[in-house]
Structures are given as structure tokens and as C-alpha cells.
């Protein structure tokens, strides 16, 4: 509904409440004078042109998004040409590889800041500059809450990394370098060289890590122009789509096309299917559930399994496959994946609306793969069932397992219980947080062998705090030297989207608030059944009940000792308000605020 009809004012655009409000010329004078002080004229600000925010997520602290500082010029040109005026402003930096203790702590902080900015300033529509992992969901969450017209612009992945003729992918190469170093095959100098080779240009991870995943899903949700997610940052098409995005947001304001019109339940179901087909990150369920909750859409990890598990893997990209971002883009990017899914009858809602005003089906139908090695045909997939499993049992109520990275060697070694090829059992070795893991992983007393299951607890939204990517646990050096490159891992934290290890992640509730992992002890046996989706510690119920009583006692006296104290005000605030991973790790009081730009009119400041 247009702004004037909803609020009974004589202004047509929200920004006119500040700059062109005939009902209050006195306040208009106050609001407009300072925005003219850098050269804008009264005529520009009072001519009914939409004022378009550019939510700038790039900075020197956020190298993955830094190229947005350059792209914003093309966005501005597009906005101007379509008759709008650009207002660029900063969003809180979120850099996964730079922020300690974890960038995930800042997703909700950036969300809060952006909600306040969009609500409290004269902005009619916004370009969200997405990139590194959490920069995408934080901005989509804010756009969902405020619900003014919004369109996302991906910064794009880096160019492919190369080392001695071999593709080196972000993050994924780090796991390999660690293994080579542990096996004494390389020294530190080559280690640095190898890892740095994977980052040859501006842009985010060139693997299907969380960044490419979340940008691809933003496109699948309909919040980007078609093809936007995968264009590498330095390519000319990246600057071209920045310009087109700027033009389009002005039209979206005129059409009053808002996030809640685009990000419907149907759009989320499409995104889940696309995530399976691209081999997307295990961080995606957390973020999509969060965005959905801010729109009032009930999305669960059961939905992820029900809608996504049977979908085939079509994209051969690291860590699930071989290729990198440039290859994905050249093969056709997200539109080619969607086209294959439509062809195979696998996309549930081809009629879902997207940011350009057309449906995802209209945008993508027929745009099939240019390179069948990189993006496979729907009937010749890399893997038949590539989606996530949602495991449950006496260790947790929900944990995600990414099936597309379970290697053949792993299947052979573990999923071979006689008569039960879907189950494996192992002895648990439990670590209380990352420091404990790094201090003890090579301790021979732990007797870690090829049937061990590594467990990390204390890494969740409350425990770490923020829910860190620290469940990337590798076997001890002795096993790596023997060629055992991966052990099954379980954790109440997250794992990098670039990791290829067979892991059970995002376990909720986490140990820090008394989840089942808190009851586990080194030496316990764990059984995982991929068919029944169960994960249980094989300890008699009476014994578990006794451990539960002891834990309750500890919790009553301030909680398990492995939860470190908060170090900053935000750590403490977020700990008090945050939900668990399976509920999106959102701030509990925040989700009730919906459509705030239409529901509320901000009060004047003088
Ligand atoms: C590679 C990183 C930094 O871990 C992240 O981007 C991810 O893919 O999860």
C-alpha cells in the first residue's frame, strides 16, 4: 500500500516526511538544511525523487566486501539515471576471517544497526551490498523487518586461486595445507604461499563457502537481479550489474515492491532446493531460518530436510567438488542451476516473484548450463540426494549434516556396519571449546584412532559466544601421516562452509544451556544412523539421568566451567537474548517487529 494511503498523510514517499512535508514546513526546514550542506539543492530534495540508501558493507576491515566501495559509484549512476538520489551510509563490518571471537556475533548487531538506519532516516528504498557470509543475512533480516523496497547486490567472489597449475580454493586450501604440514610435506613458507594463492583478487571466497552460498540463496529468494550472485568481483559484468541494480531499485520504489512481497514461503522453499543443488554451506539453515523469522514465516530444520534432502547435487564446485567461482559464473551461475531444476521438475515454485518484477521461472527458464562439467544436467547429477539431514536424539534436538561432502573413503570406512550401511558407531573424544581441542588433539592418551568421533562443545550462540566456526576439527598428526584425512565431528558450533569433513553441526540446544552434549564424556560410544536420522550416546537412561542431575546442579551454580565470561557489553546482551541455531540465532525480542516502516511513523526529533 502506498505510504500516503497507509498513513493518511499528503506525502507520497516516506522521505517526504523529512524533506517535503507540507503538513510541517517548520520541521522540513530543519531536516533539509543539513542535507543541502554538501551541495544537494532544495529542488532535488523536494521534487518527488525517491531517496535510495546504499547500505555500504565494504571497508578496510571487511576485505571481502571492500570492492563495494568501488561498485557504489556505478550503483549511484544507476540510481541517478532512473531519477533517484543516492544516500550511502556504513553498516557495521562483518568479516568472517578477521573478527574475533567470531563474525557471527555481529550478524545481529549489524541487523539492529541497519534496522535503525532504515527506519530513522529519509530512505525510500535500499541497495544491500552483500558479500562475506553474514553480511548477506544481516542485511536481508533488516530489510525484512523494515520492509521498504530493497534489492541485494553481491560483491562477487574472488578470481580462481591457482598454485602450480592446480586450482586453490578459499578456505578449502587451508584444510589441505594443514594436512600437508602435519604430514611434514611442506614447511611454513610454502604453507603461507599455498594459502595466499587462493585469494588472488578482490571479492569473497571463490569456493562454495558460506559467502557464495548466501549470495546464491539471496538470488534464489528473488532479492537480486538474475545472475548477480556468481559474477566474480573484478569482472566488468559486476560493475554493469551494480549499475542495473541502482536503476532497478528506483523502479521498485515506484512499484512499491517490498521484501515481504518477494521473500514469501515459496521463495524460501526454492532457496532450500537451490542450496542442495549447489552443495551450499551448513550455515545456510541458520541464516535462512533467521530471515524467515523476521518475516513471520515459520521455517525449521525439518523443512530443510523434507524439501532439500532428495535434491541432487548439480554443481561441481569445491568443497563438494572440483571447480571454483569463475567456473560457476562461466557455466551460467544461479540461473543455470534454476533452469536445470525447472527442467527436472525440481523447483517447487517457478512462479515466485523476484526483484525485477518477473518470476524466477521467467528469469531462468532455458538458461541452461554452458559447461556440463561444472553444472550438470538435472538427470546426470554428481550425487542423487545432496541435501542436509536433520539429526536428532539424546545428544541434541536438531543438528545438520551435509551429505554432499561425505567422501567415498569415509563411506567405505565408516558406513559399513555389517547389515547396516547407513549407520556408524564410534568412541567419543570430547573437547570443551577450541582451545581445549588445539591443546590436546595430539595427546596420545586420548587414544584417537580411525573409529573415533571428535566432539566439540561450548561453541554455540551462548557458549562461545556467537556460535563460532570452530568445529573444523582435523585428526591428530599421527593419523594424518597414516593417510586418515578426516574423522566424523559433532559440535554445538558451526563449521566453515569451505570444509569438506563429514560433520554434524549447529547442534541445538547447545551444551552451555544444558543441551545433551553437556552430558557426554570421553570414552562414551555414539551411534549415528543416517537412515533414521538419529544420533545417540549409548549410555543407559539411568546413567544419563544421574549425569543430568549433576549438570543441573552445576548450572544452578553459574553454569559449566567451560563457558567463558563475556568480554564486551554486546557479548553479554546477545547472550541474554539470543535463540539457538535451529531457531536462527535471532534476538528473541526482535522478531515481533515486522513491516515497521509502514506500521510506525518515526517521531520527530525536535
Ligand atoms: C571460509 C570461511 C571464512 O570460513 C567462511 O566464508 C565460510 O565459508 O563459512
CA 242 to ligand 1 center in whole angstroms: 24
How far is the centre of ligand 1, averaged over its atoms, from the C-alpha of 197 (Å)? 16
Q: What percent of the chain has pLDDT over 70?
A: 97
Substitution site in 205, 207, 213, 459 for ligand 1 pocket (most atoms within 8 Å of beta carbon): 205
pLDDT of residue 291: 98
Q: Closest by alpha carbon to 361, among 384, 339, 328?
A: 339
97 in contact with ligand 1, CB cutoff 6 A: yes
Neighbouring C-beta atoms of residue 108, cutoff 10 Å: 26
CA nearest ligand 1 atom 1, residue: 171
Question: What are 505-514's pLDDT values in tens digits?
Answer: 999 999 999 9
Is 215 close to ligand 1, i.e. is its CB under 6 Å away?
A: no
For range 91-106, the mean pLDDT: 97
pLDDT of residue 252: 98
Per-residue confidence band for 3, with pLDDT thresholds at 50, 70 and 90: low
Q: How confident is the model at residue 559 (pLDDT cuts 50, 70, 90)?
A: low
Q: Cα(301)–Cα(264) distance, rounded to whole angstroms? A: 17
One DSSP character per residue, 203-243 reads: SB-SSSSHHHHHHHHHHHHT-S-TTTTTS-TTSHHHHHHHH
Q: Residues with Cβ < 8 Å from 581, sequence gap 6 or more?
A: 285, 286, 398, 460, 461, 467, 492, 494, 506, 507, 508, 510
pLDDT band for position 224 (cuts 50, 70, 90): very high
User: For strand 398-402 and strand 388-391, is the pairing parallel, antiparallel, or unpaired?
Assistant: antiparallel
- Cα separation, 293 vs 411, in Å, equals 36
Question: Is 133 close to ligand 1, i.e. is its CB under 6 Å away?
Answer: yes
Per residue in 83-93, is it b (16+ CB within 10 Å) or e — as a string?
Answer: ebbbbbeebbb
Q: Report the chain's mean pLDDT, rounded to a whole number.
A: 95
pLDDT in tens, 565-597: 999 999 999 999 999 999 999 999 999 999 999
State the pLDDT at residue 104: 97
Ligand 1: distance of its center to the CA of 211 in Å?
7
Percent of the chain with pLDDT over 90: 87
Residue 162 · residue 200 · CB < 8 Å: yes
Of 68-72, 397-401, 500-504, where does mean pLDDT reach its minimum?
500-504
Q: Taking the CB of residue 124, how many other CB atoms lie within 10 A of it? A: 27
Q: What is the pLDDT of residue 496?
A: 87
Give the helix, strand, coil percentages of the chain, each rounded to 5. Answer: 40, 15, 45
Q: Which atom of ligand 1 is nearest to the CA of 64?
A: 6
> Does the CB atom of residue 363 touch ligand 1 within 6 A?
no
**Ligand 1 atom at minimal distance to the Cα of residue 171:** 1
Interval 164-174: pLDDT, tens: 999 999 999 99
pTM: 0.97
- Kindly give the distance from the C-alpha atom of residue 172 to the centroid of ligand 1, in angstroms, as a whole number: 9
At residue 75, the 3 state secondary structure works out as helix
Could you tell me if the CB of 209 is within 6 A of ligand 1? Answer: yes
Per-residue pLDDT averaged across 99-123, rounded? 98
283 lines ligand 1 (CB under 6 A): yes
Write out 531-583 in H/E/C secondary structure.
Answer: CCCEEEECCCHHHHHHHHHHHHHHHHCCCCCCCCCCCCHHHHHHHHHECCHHH
pLDDT tops 90 at residue 410: no
- 176: pLDDT confidence band, cut at 50, 70 and 90? confident
Q: What is the pLDDT of residue 6?
A: 65
User: Is the pLDDT at 412 greater than 80, yes or no?
Assistant: no
pLDDT at position 557 is 77
pLDDT at 233 over 70: yes
Write the pLDDT tens digit of every residue in 38-54. 999 999 999 999 999 99
Substitution candidate for ligand 1 out of 107, 130, 211 with most atoms within 8 A of CB: 211
- 3-class DSSP state for residue 126? strand
Find the Cα–Cα–Cα–Cα dihedral 235, 237, 242, 243, rounded to 10°.
130
Interval 469-503: pLDDT, tens: 999 899 999 998 888 888 999 999 999 887 877 89
| Predicted confidence (pLDDT) at residue 292 exceeds the cutoff of 90 | yes
| Segment 517-552, tens digit of pLDDT | 999 999 999 999 999 999 999 999 999 999 999 998
- The ipTM assigned to this model is 0.91
Q: What is the mean pLDDT of residues 119-142?
A: 98
User: Which range is least confidently modeled, 191-195, 301-305, 412-416?
Assistant: 412-416
Confidence bin at 561 (pLDDT 50/70/90): low
Using the mean position of ligand 1's atoms as its centre, give its distance from the Cα of residue 158 in Å: 13
Q: What is the pLDDT of residue 408?
A: 76
β-pairing, 150-154 vs 161-163, is: unpaired
> Residue 11's pLDDT is what?
78
User: Pick from 461, 464, 535: which is nearest to 504 by CA?
Assistant: 535
Pocket test for ligand 1, best of 212, 494, 498, 500 (most atoms within 8 A of CB): 498
Kindly give the distance from the C-alpha atom of residue 133 to the centroid of ligand 1, in angstroms, as a whole number.
7
pLDDT confidence band for 312 (50 / 70 / 90)? very high
Which atom of ligand 1 lies closest to the CA of 133?
A: 6
Q: Residue 119 Cα, ligand 1 centroid: separation in angstroms?
A: 31
* 3 state DSSP class of 537: strand
What is the Å distance from ligand 1's center to 134 Cα?
A: 10
- State if residue 498 touches ligand 1 by the CB under 6 angstroms criterion: yes
Per-residue pLDDT, averaged over 232-249, amounts to 98
Give the pLDDT confidence score for residue 10 in this predicted structure.
Answer: 72
Assess whether pLDDT exceeds 70 at residue 417: no
CA-proximal residue: ligand 1, atom 4 (nearest): 496
Mean pLDDT of the region 258-263: 98
Burial (CB count <10 Å: 0-12, 13-18, 19+), residue 334:
buried
3-state secondary structure at position 371: coil
What angle (nearest 5°) sits at the alpha carbon of residue 520, between those of residues 519 and 521? 125
Amino acid at each position: 500500500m502506498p505510504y500516503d494511503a497507509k498513513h493518511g498523510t499528503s506525502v507520497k514517499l516516506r522521505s517526504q516526511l523529512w524533506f517535503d512535508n507540507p503538513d510541517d514546513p517548520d520541521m522540513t526546514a530543519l531536516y533539509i538544511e543539513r542535507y543541502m550542506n554538501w551541495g544537494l539543492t532544495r529542488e532535488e530534495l523536494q521534487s518527488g525523487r525517491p531517496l535510495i540508501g546504499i547500505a555500504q558493507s565494504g571497508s578496510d576491515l571487511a576485505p571481502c566486501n571492500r570492492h563495494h566501495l568501488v561498485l557504489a559509484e556505478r550503483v549511484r549512476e544507476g540510481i541517478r539515471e532512473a531519477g533517484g538520489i543516492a544516500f550511502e551510509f556504513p553498516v557495521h563490518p562483518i568479516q568472517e576471517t578477521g573478527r574475533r571471537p567470531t563474525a557471527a556475533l555481529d550478524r545481529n548487531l549489524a541487523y539492529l544497526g541497519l534496522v535503525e538506519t532504515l527506519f530513522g532516516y529519509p530512505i525510500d528504498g535500499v541497495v544491500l551490498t552483500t558479500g562475506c557470509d553474514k553480511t548477506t543475512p544481516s542485511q536481508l533480516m533488516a530489510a525484512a523487518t523494515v520492509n521498504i523496497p530493497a534489492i541485494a547486490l553481491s560483491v562477487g567472489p574472488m578470481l580462481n586461486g591457482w598454485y602450480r597449475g592446480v586450482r586453490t580454493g578459499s578456505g578449502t586450501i587451508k584444510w589441505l595445507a594443514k594436512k600437508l604440514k602435519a604430514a611434514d610435506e611442506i614447511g611454513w613458507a610454502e604453507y603461507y604461499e599455498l594459502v595466499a594463492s587462493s585469494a588472488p583478487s578482490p571479492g569473497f571466497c571463490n569456493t562454495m563457502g558460506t559467502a557464495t552460498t548466501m549470495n546464491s540463496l539471496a538470488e534464489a529468494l528473488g532479492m537480486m537481479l538474475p545472475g548477480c550472485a556468481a559474477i566474480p568481483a573484478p569482472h566488468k559484468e559486476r560493475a554493469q550489474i551494480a549499475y542495473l541494480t541502482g536503476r532497478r531499485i528506483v523502479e521498485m520504489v515506484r512499484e512499491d515492491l517490498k521484501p515481504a512481497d518477494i521473500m514469501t514461503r515459496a521463495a524460501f522453499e526454492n532457496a532450500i532446493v537451490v542450496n542442495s543443488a549447489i552443495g551450499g554451506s551448513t550455515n545456510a539453515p541458520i541464516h535462512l531460518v533467521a530471515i524467515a523469522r523476521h518475516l513471520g514465516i515459520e521455517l525449521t530444520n525439518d523443512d530443510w530436510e523434507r524439501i532439500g534432502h532428495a535434491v541432487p547435487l548439480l554443481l561441481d564446485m569445491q568443497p563438494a567438488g572440483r571447480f571454483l567461482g569463475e567456473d560457476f559464473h562461466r557455466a551460467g551461475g544461479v540461473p543455470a542451476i534454476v533452469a536445470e531444476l525447472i527442467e527436472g521438475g525440481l523447483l517447487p515454485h517457478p512462479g515466485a516473484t523476484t526483484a525485477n518484477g518477473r518470476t524466477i521461472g521467467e528469469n531462468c527458464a532455458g538458461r541452461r548450463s554452458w559447461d556440463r562439467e561444472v553444472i550438470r544436467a538435472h538427470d546426470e547429477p554428481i550425487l542423487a540426494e545432496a541435501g542436509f539431514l536433520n539429526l536428532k536424539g539424546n545428544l541434541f534436538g536438531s543438528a545438520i549434516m551435509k551429505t554432499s561432502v561425505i567422501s567415498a573413503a569415509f563411506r567405505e570406512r565408516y558406513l559399513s556396519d555389517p547389515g547396516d550401511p547407513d549407520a556408524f558407531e564410534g568412541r567419543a573424544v570430547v573437547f570443551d571449546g577450541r582451545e581445549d581441542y588445539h591443546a590436546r588433539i595430539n595427546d596420545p592418551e586420548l587414544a584417537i584412532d580411525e573409529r573415533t568421533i571428535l566432539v566439540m562443545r561450548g561453541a554455540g550462540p551462548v557458549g562461545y559466544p556467537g556460535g563460532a566456526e570452530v568445529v573444523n576439527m582435523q585428526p591428530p598428526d599421527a593419523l594424518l601421516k597414516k593417510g586418515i584425512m578426516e574423522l566424523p565431528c559433532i559440535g554445538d558450533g558451526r563449521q566453515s562452509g569451505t570444509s569438506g569433513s563429514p560433520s554434524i553441526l549447529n547442534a541445538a540446544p547447545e551444551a552451555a544451556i544444558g543441551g545433551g552434549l553437556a552430558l557426554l564424556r570421553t570414552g562414551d560410544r555414539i551411534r549415528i544412523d543416517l537412515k533414521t536420522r538419529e544420533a545417540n550416546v549409548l549410555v543407559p537412561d539411568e546413567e544419563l539421568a544421574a549425569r543430568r542431575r549433576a549438570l543441573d546442579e552445576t548450572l544452578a551454580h553459574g553454569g559449566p566451567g567451560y563457558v567463558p565470561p563475556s568480554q564486551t557489553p554486546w557479548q553479554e546482551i546477545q547472550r541474554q537474548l539470543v535463540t539457538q541455531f535451529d531457531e536462527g540465532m535471532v534476538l528473541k525480542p526482535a522478531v515481533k517487529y515486522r513491516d515497521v516502516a509502514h506500521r510506525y511513523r518515526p517521531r520527530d526529533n525536535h
